[in-house]
């Protein structure tokens, strides 16, 4: 007689959303500081090159050498900003993992882990971009045979599926140290839970949107009112900009924390890995 199928362990979408906010606010100072790293680096570099840029603009943009120097500086700033953003996200994932398992945070160790993992993340990100390019190239080839709304729907659903399939790629690379095997391990962890993960992301995105909506509206109308009165106070506008920046950093950080908790939850479900077992990764 056939054995009854074992019921699938629920992912716990609501619990993951609640736990993400709880963990974020317990370590808000650490997360916000790390999340601010890209902007801090960008501002510092702009201060360093600002004088040379003023000289270039003062001398006119007809000078070929000046334009070459300007583009070189801009390319350098963009590259450094991208690297700082990657490292910031890596550190948030590792620190979130520490926090949810009661492991003392070791920023120097995490920084080294982040630097070592960067080439793997870049290569696998290019692979995923190629997958998306192939998907949309295929859909583009079908545009003469299918109505546009159907192509858009298929593209949207397929994109959600791919994102869910590789949702925990970053934690797998950083925590499991899977290297170039991370795509396969990620697919294994997310199997049977991909549409649950899509639901988790949609719910979390909606939650973040609703939470950010009221502060965003207040800031927008405050800026409009100040501009309508004439020249607004520098300190007031700076304060509003800081609030906008803090909201943006918090949103990015929350999604990184969510992915980390999702990774931990999937490992517990799929591999039966307890908190103690996971802590051995950092031993």
Phi then psi dihedrals of residue 99, to 5 deg? -65, -40
Q: Helix H segments across the chain?
A: 13-26, 28-35, 37-58, 64-100, 107-141, 148-165, 169-174, 182-190, 194-228, 234-271, 275-279
* 89 within 8 A of 256, measured Cβ to Cβ: yes
Q: Can you tell me the distance from the alpha carbon of 46 to that of 115, in angstroms, rounded to the nearest whole number?
A: 23
b/e string for 146-167 if b means 16 or more Cβ within 10 A? eeeeebeeebeebebeebbbbb
Distance CA 27, CA 40 (A): 20
Q: In this structure, are residues 194 and 165 in contact, taking their beta carbons and an 8 Å threshold?
A: yes
- Residue 7 in tokens: 């019921």
Residue 150: predicted pLDDT: 86
Residue 1's pLDDT is: 45
Q: How far apart are CA 81 and CA 216, in angstroms?
A: 25
pLDDT at residue number 65: 63
Which of 152, 130, 131, 129 lies closest to 140, judged by CA? 152
The alpha carbon of residue 63 and the mean position of all alpha carbons in its chain are separated, in whole angstroms, by 40
* pLDDT tens by residue, 14-54: 999 999 999 999 999 999 999 988 888 877 777 766 656 55
- Read off the tokens for 10: 């629920």
Whole-number pLDDT of residue 282: 38
CB 182 within 8 A of CB 173: yes
What sign has the CA pseudo-torsion 108, 112, 113, 117? positive
User: At 106, is the secondary structure helix, strand, or coil?
Assistant: coil
Residue numbers in the chain where pLDDT is lower than 70: 1-7, 48-67, 69-70, 223-224, 226-240, 273-283
What's the CA gap between 78 and 84, in Å, rounded? 10
Question: What gap in Å lies between CA 257 and CA 47, rounded to an integer?
Answer: 31
Q: Taking a C-beta distance cutoff of 8 angstroms, is the pair 121, 86 a contact?
A: yes
Q: Would you call 46 helix, strand, or coil by DSSP?
A: helix
Main-chain phi, psi angles of 178, to 5 degrees: -80, -15
Q: Please, which residues have CB within 8 angstroms of residue 219's CB and are 6 or more apart in sequence? A: 240, 243, 244
As a whole number of Å, the end-to-end CA separation of the chain is 46
Distance CA 142, CA 227 (A): 49
pLDDT value at position 64?
63
């Amino acid at each position: 007689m056939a054995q009854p199928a074992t019921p699938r362990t629920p992912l716990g979408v609501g619990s993951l959303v609640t736990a993400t906010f709880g963990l974020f606010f317990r370590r808000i100072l650490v997360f916000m500081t790390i999340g601010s790293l890209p902007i801090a680096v960008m501002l510092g570099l702009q201060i360093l090159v600002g004088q040379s840029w003023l000289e270039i603009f003062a001398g006119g943009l007809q000078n070929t050498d000046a334009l070459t120097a300007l583009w070189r500086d801009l390319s350098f700033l963009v590259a450094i900003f991208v690297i700082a953003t990657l490292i910031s996200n890596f550190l948030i994932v590792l620190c979130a993992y520490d926090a949810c398992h009661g492991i003392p945070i070791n920023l120097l160790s995490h920084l080294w882990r982040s630097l070592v993992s960067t080439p793997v993340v870049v290569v696998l990100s290019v692979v995923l971009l190629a997958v998306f390019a192939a998907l949309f190239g295929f859909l583009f080839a079908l545009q003469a045979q299918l109505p546009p709304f159907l192509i858009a729907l298929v593209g949207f659903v397929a994109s959600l599926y791919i994102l869910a399939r590789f949702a925990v790629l970053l934690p797998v690379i950083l925590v499991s140290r899977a290297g170039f095997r991370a795509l396969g391990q990620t697919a294994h962890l997310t199997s049977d839970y991909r549409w649950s993960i899509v639901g988790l992301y949609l719910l979390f995105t909606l939650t973040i949107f609703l939470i950010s909506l009221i502060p965003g509206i207040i800031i927008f109308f405050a800026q409009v009112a100040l501009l309508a009165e004439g020249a607004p106070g520098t300190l007031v506008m700076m304060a509003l900009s800081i609030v906008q920046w803090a909201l943006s950093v918090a949103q990015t950080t929350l999604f990184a924390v969510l992915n980390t908790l999702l990774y931990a939850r999937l490992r517990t479900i799929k591999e039966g890995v307890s908190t103690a077992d996971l802590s051995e990764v950092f031993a």
